């Protein structure tokens, strides 16, 4: 650290001497009419170059629980977990990824998973599914209408909380197991609208033999990625679905989570999920 400080001081000292000398030499020989004029010292360009911006650095932080209000007492358990972009400082508007958990799971199981792997800065929003499981703890997805309701409410709540720091023009939705089926229903629901209310850019589905219409994906302008462990029974069907959509002109791909991974995959597979989310967004 001391050596870095010493080098910095030395470089600044050299710069302080060299700049006036350069100015004097330029005045002595006259300005070169072929050279572009330097911006005035008071210009915005000069001020920006003189004030270096701090580069964002990766950070880790726990997600935040946010209650969702629908006005219906029977839906008082609706909530989401929200993970802010995992960089500091961060004042830029960032896109949104919505992650839908599996059967009889919860929103808290999803949003703190991917922060350990490299990802482009983005909001991660993890809504709780819309029905309580009757035989075990957790919540499950029901129908496309309710899925769309909670996805739209989650996005609206995020924008209400963070305003212009939220971009909603490049949304990615990712689903795990039953969450993948929920996304398939959501895509069909959105594609039926004359003007789809969500600006969907990408879809990631894991561990479920789900099917999508090429016409729906084309209308929404969405890329799609399928993924599963090689030991997951859904893997062959998902691989075939990705190939079918690719033949039909959709930007589609399949990625293996690993030869030793099954339906209940290890935490390490999050690296692949993170890469697929960024690939789907394509930024």
What integer pLDDT is reported at residue 95 of this predicted model?
98
Q: How far apart are CA 144 and CA 221, in angstroms?
A: 19
In this structure, is residue 166 part of a structural domain?
A: yes
Mark whether 97 and 24 lie in a shared domain: no
Which two tokens mark 223?
A: 């890329």
Supply the DSSP symbol for 253: E
Instruction: Give the domain CATH number at 252.
Output: 3.40.50.1820
Mark whether 141 and 222 lie in a shared domain: yes
Number of domains forming the structure of the chain: 2
Give me the residue label for tokens 């499981």: 133
In this structure, is residue 89 part of a structural domain?
A: yes
pLDDT in tens, the chain (283 residues): 333 333 333 333 333 333 344 433 333 334 444 444 444 444 445 545 555 667 889 898 899 999 999 999 999 999 999 999 999 988 899 999 999 999 999 998 888 889 889 999 999 999 999 999 998 999 999 999 999 999 999 999 999 999 999 999 999 999 999 999 999 999 999 999 999 999 999 999 999 999 999 999 999 999 999 999 999 999 999 999 999 999 999 999 999 999 999 999 899 999 999 999 999 999 8
In this structure, is residue 154 part of a structural domain?
A: yes
Mark whether 172 and 276 lie in a shared domain: yes
Backbone dihedral region for residue 160 (phi beyond 0: left; psi -120 to 50: alpha; all else: beta): alpha
Mark whether 92 and 192 lie in a shared domain: yes
Nearest to 125 by CA among 92, 177, 89, 167: 167
Mark whether 23 and 89 lie in a shared domain: no
Q: Look up the pTM and report it.
A: 0.80
In this structure, is residue 83 part of a structural domain?
A: yes
Mark whether 4 and 140 lie in a shared domain: no
Mark whether 18 and 134 lie in a shared domain: no
Q: What is the extent of the structural domain holding 83?
A: 59-281
pLDDT, tens digit, for every residue of 30-59?
444 444 444 444 444 554 555 566 788 989
In this structure, is residue 256 part of a structural domain?
A: yes
Task: Tell me the sheet residues that pair with 166.
Answer: 94
Burial (CB count <10 Å: 0-12, 13-18, 19+), residue 175 = buried
Mark whether 152 and 215 lie in a shared domain: yes
pLDDT, tens digit, for every residue of 270-282?
999 999 999 999 9
Mark whether 122 and 18 lie in a shared domain: no
Sequence-distant (6+) residues with CB within 8 A of 259 are 229, 230, 231
In this structure, is residue 49 part of a structural domain?
A: no
């Amino acid at each position: 650290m001391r050596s870095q400080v010493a080098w910095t001081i030395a470089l600044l000292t050299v710069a302080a001497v060299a700049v006036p000398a350069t100015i004097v030499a330029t005045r002595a020989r006259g300005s070169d009419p072929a050279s572009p004029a330097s911006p005035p010292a008071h210009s915005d360009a000069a001020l920006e170059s003189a004030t270096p911006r701090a580069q964002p650095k990766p950070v880790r932080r726990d997600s935040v629980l946010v209650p969702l209000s629908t006005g219906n007492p029977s839906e008082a358990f609706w909530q989401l977990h929200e993970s802010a972009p995992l960089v500091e400082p961060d004042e830029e508007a960032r896109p949104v990824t919505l992650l839908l958990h599996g059967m009889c799971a919860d929103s808290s199981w999803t949003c703190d998973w991917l922060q350990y792997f490299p990802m482009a800065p983005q909001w991660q929003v993890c809504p709780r599914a819309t029905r309580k499981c009757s035989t075990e703890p957790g919540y499950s997805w029901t129908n496309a209408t309710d899925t769309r309701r909670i996805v739209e409410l989650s996005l609206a709540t995020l924008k209400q909380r963070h305003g212009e720091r939220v971009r909603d023009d490049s949304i990615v939705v990712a689903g795990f197991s039953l969450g993948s089926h929920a996304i398939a229903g959501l895509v069909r629901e959105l594609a039926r609208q004359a003007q789809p209310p969500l600006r969907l850019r990408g879809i990631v589905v894991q561990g479920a033999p789900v099917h999508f219409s090429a016409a729906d994906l084309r209308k929404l302008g969405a890329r799609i990625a399928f993924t599963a462990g090689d030991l997951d029974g859904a893997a062959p069907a998902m691989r075939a679905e990705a190939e079918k959509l690719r033949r039909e002109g959709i930007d589609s791909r399949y990625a293996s989570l690993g030869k030793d991974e099954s339906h209940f995959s290890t935490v390490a597979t999050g690296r692949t999920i993170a890469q697929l989310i960024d690939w789907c967004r394509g930024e």
